[in-house]
Amino acid sequence: PLDLIIPTVAILAQESQAFPTHLDFPPSLLAMAIKVGDAIPSAMLQDGSPGTKVDIKDLFAGKKGVLFGVPGAYTPTCTSAHVPSFVNVTADQWKEKGVEVVVCTAVNDAFVLSAWAATFGETSVKFLADPCSEATKAMGLTFDAPPLLEALGNSRCKRFVMGLDGGKVVGLNISGEDGKADEDTYAAAALGFF
């Protein structure tokens, strides 16, 4: 029997090299989505230009704030409904809720996001770019469904709104998850977190 076992082991060893020793999954399946009670992760975003970087963890440390994400600058729903819902909330309305910082992020470069922000006029909303999806991936909020990839060319950020208090998530709605619609990620939901 040894003369049968040794060749069999050798064949299996050769065949195993043809098969991967690990499986490659899309990033959206690997990262667990951030949830209420979690701390916001450290991740760099760009403010106006690639050289001006902001760590979202530091930005929300010790403050009440709102972070909302959109699939892309200049996209129809983001431009006509999602962002305006935040821009139309006055600084005083945010202040009444104790909110000190409101940030919009998208997987776009800083130049595109800045140009898009300018189309909304004067606003208390900060627009911070996530060009390489660093923050999006760190929060587990990557949107990479095939129709989206075909339309926009690369993975994007899911549509979401997050309330933060001292860097901890106190409220979170993600469009398409847990029965949430796009409207559940608009400013009215954010105001309801506080």
Burial 128-152 (b: 16+ CB within 10 A, else e): bbbbebbbbbbbbbbbeeeebeeee
Of residues 102, 113, 43, 111, the one with CA closest to residue 72:
113
Q: Residue 78 catalytic?
A: yes
> What is each CA distance from 169 to 20, 36, 41, 73, in whole angstroms?
38, 5, 10, 25
* Phi and psi, residue 26, nearest 5°: -60, 150
- HSE at residue 102, side-chain half, CA atoms within 13 A, is 24
Radius of gyration of the chain (CA): 21
Amino acid at 172: L
Of residues 59, 63, 54, 137, the one with CA closest to residue 94:
63
Q: Which of 78, 104, 132, 157 is catalytic?
A: 78
Cβ partners under 8 Å of residue 180, min gap 6? 173, 174
| Residues that are catalytic | 78
